Structure 1
């Protein structure tokens, strides 16, 4: 990133998009309470998701290899891309505004619907199921109706946090970031103690060698771990100085995310035998195993029993993990919901969803609708999978990533388009290399998310082709083994429904567009 000689004043009105009169009224209710440190914690909470650590570790040491490779060819270009867009167009709504300026309101509206709706899918899907699994592993079983009650409490507890004013709500990502740092740091210390007492599993150098089959299996969760830089831009007009704070926070949070992901994954590989690392319970199982150094034992069949201080530390870590999961959903919601409210107030959705609460300064109606959708998805999915947590987790996480990344396929190219359409807009931070640099950065980021969508809909795409090793069938989630059609339908049918909802939302915004003229 290159810094301009001088920093322009934040959000000059001439840089703002031509939004509807309705949004102009709502804008006055926003409150500028986000400082640079708040944005940094916001991004750490966004980037360091605890629900995918087990999925990466389940692929063995090559997961770390691909993590390093994708940090260079995706994470870095993506960070540069958002740093320029976020500082050049620091307007409330972030990704929606960039896409609208580049491709028009219809494309941006449907795209934003996909971006927003992935949040209730995620909260009611993989986040909820991991939180429930963690509770049952460390505290008490949740039979029958208790599982539904606990899941709905998790969802609506998050919704209550999202509706609060930014002055209060910003403490949720701060708490989430601190919980991550403490939990993952304590886990790594415990791994070191465990290693000193019991030794660790050897990791042969050959296991770090990257394979195409491993790449296809890992690319969805690894890239999902690396996204979220754009979320603070959705609240740009609630920041003290977005032109300065967004790029700096991207750099710092990106470095923190690499450390906070890589260390725990390596720790899991050292502690657990490869055959015992599961996508859903990998991190949970590793925590239980290492905490036996404080009290407890591991049976010959791998069953872990925690006692004394081990049980106490296990309970504290479990609570920290649940808090981390909840704050992940809340932080993403704080960004995605604000962008959706801007889209609706701008005529790309029902006007009533674009309302900003005078009391809280937040889009309360979008927040509550998201909680309702997450609740419905949780109840329906739990019934369709017959309570099978692994199947529920695989389908929910896949759909979340797929929906989010389809929206990125449209948003990321807006960098090149806006550099061409608005060359005179002040860019405090810009992608180096001129037009070639912009095309390279935008192209790399777009290609990787587009490829991810393909392998999510059809796991194992390309495996076994042109002499590559492996079988495409082995790339299916274990809970969907031999059920490719069922898995693909679990992704494609909801995606088609979401696009239909996006078009319906756009139609519902017709009156706003007509009034605007």
Structure 2
């Protein structure tokens, strides 16, 4: 009876707040603001061409195939082990890279909150503490952390509202840092700006993580679509509002991809240190914990599930004897993220946050590419399966819903990881991302090949199980 009650703790309100916590990423607001005024066009354009089809497809797949594996399960059912393995690898490896990018960001924001400058040794200890606190919390079920998810969602909304309202106040009393003209609101095709558009896609992804909470929901087949639709509308509104505030405060060319949100509050208030700035900085740091905790619960489950199916190394299949949580995946998150930030202390690149964040983006977006064709194929090979939520439309409409997001993802990856010019600044900024992406793609192929060899059925002429 107690177990049943525990599962009913995750109500629709919790699900909606979890969508906000997972999908709304406060630290991504600054890179998006670096696009300039044309960001408003890209927000609206990508809401229609990416968020809408992705939300519909995620709702159908999440309620139809509601196992532990999420998008890994969908791709594996449609295209088999190899593509399932690739999806699980890309989906997992993005997380420790993302965690490393936030770990690098943490001391910078903490120094603003405390009004002191932190040395290299202190910063590294803080970064490691950030990583391993998240690892420890992810050892426990989602219902034990639901207050963290809800709290982080509320904090993110507060951050966005404060920046937005300060932006309105600043615009009325002091003018705007970026002039608003019809021309400036039109889409910009500047290569630097286009590389940041991928962050908008990143901001729209994550709905399927809510599907991994299905076992803890009262009525997942109803709550998941509701949470995605309502959460998506709220997220779109608060993103645009916070983006306006940053755009009022900081000229586009001067936006810091790491501390832009806090910088905007400093400029809008006219103070580098104050109680408000300290409070907002601390809330921002707490939101980073919320991001990582909400994502770890989904990412670790997918990696563990894939490992149990032989599509990821066995270490990821290790679970806790007490609560069956995927502790192997959690520990690997901590190890990889720790190694990355330790190596980072020897790198000359000053914008480490964007370098790690961009690398995370490449891997993360790559994990979603096979999801859209999988949606189409599962409709063909599994037509009789009950679909509690079914995307309506004829074959042409369904194909467009799947193809459009794929085109946008591929384009975004190219702008992030492929040097499109050969000047020194571009090469210094892009080549590390290109090389890092290639390394992680190669590692993934090696792991897939090895797991395939280990799962060969000797009585089935070498066919992989």
Counterpart position of 1:424: 384
- Structure 1 stretches lacking a partner, 5+ long: 1-27, 297-304, 461-471
2:340 is the alignment partner of 1:394: no
> Matches of 2:430 and 2:235 in 1, distance apart?
33
Assess if the C-alpha contact under 8 Å between 2:15 and 2:224 holds in 1.
yes
- Does the C-alpha gap of structure 1 residues 67 and 459 become closer, same or farther in structure 2, counting only changes over 3 Å? farther
Residue 326, structure 1, aligned to residue 289, structure 2: yes
Matched ranges for 1:224-263 at <5 A? 224-263=202-241
Q: Does 1:216 align with 2:194?
A: yes
Question: Paired residue for 1:316?
Answer: 279
Unaligned runs of at least 5 residues, structure 2: none
Match of 2:111 in 1: 136
Who is 2:307 aligned against? 344
More divergent stretch after superposition (162-171 vs 328-337): 162-171
> How far off its partner does 1:280 sit?
2.2
3-state SS, counterpart of residue 429 of structure 1: coil
Is contact 2:68–2:212 with CA below 8 Å preserved after alignment? yes
Offset at residue 347 of structure 1 (A): 2.3
Q: Is the alpha carbon distance of 1:438 and 1:323 closer, same or farther for their aligned partners in structure 2, counting shifts above 3 Å?
A: same
Query: Does structure 1 retain, via aligned residues, the 8 Å contact 2:35–2:194?
Result: no
Cα deviation digits, residues 148-173 of structure 1 (max 9, x gap): 10101111111122111222122222
Contact 1:350 1:508 in 2 (8 A): no
CA distance in 2, matches of 1:407, 1:213: 27
* Displacement after TM superposition at 1:196 (Å): 4.2
1:246-265, CA deviations, whole angstroms, 9 ceiling, x for partnerless residues? 11111011111111111111
Q: CA RMSD in A?
A: 2.6
The within-5 A match list for 1:24-63 is: 33-63=9-39
Cα-to-partner distance string for 1:270-320 (whole Å, 9 max, x where unaligned): 12233322222321210111233xxx3xxxxxxxx33xxxx1111110011
Q: Normalized against structure 2, the TM-score is what?
A: 0.90
Q: Which residue of 2 aligns with 1:455?
A: 415
Deviates more, 1:482-491 or 1:130-139: 482-491
Which one of the candidate residues 143, 156, 163 is aligned to 1:180? 156
Could you tell me how far apart the structure 2 residues matched to 1:482 and 1:177 are?
36
Q: Secondary structure of the residue that 1:348 maps to in structure 2?
A: coil
Poorly superposed stretches of 4+, deviation over 6 Å = 511-514
Counterpart mapping for 1:356-375 below 5 A: 356-375=319-338
Q: Please give the per-residue CA displacement for 1:198-248, whole angstroms capped at 9, x wherever unaligned.
A: 333432221111133366333311111111111122343333322111111
Q: In 2, Cα distance between the equivalents of 1:336 and 1:220?
A: 20
Find the counterpart in structure 2 of residue 18 from structure 1: none
* Length, aligned pairs only: 455
* Residues 49/39 of structure 1: CA separation in 2 closer, same or farther (3 Å cut): same
CA spacing shift, 1:208–1:46, aligned 2, 3 Å: same
Q: How far has the Cα of 1:185 moved from its partner? A: 1.4
Under a length normalisation based on structure 1, what TM-score does the superposition of the two structures give? Answer: 0.82
Q: Map residues 505-516 of structure 1 onto 2, 5 A cutoff.
A: 505-507=451-453
Q: Distance in 2 between matches of 1:97 and 1:261?
A: 30
Cα-to-partner distance string for 1:80-103 (whole Å, 9 max, x where unaligned): 110111111111211111111101
Tell me if structure 1 keeps the 8 A contact 2:142–2:297: no
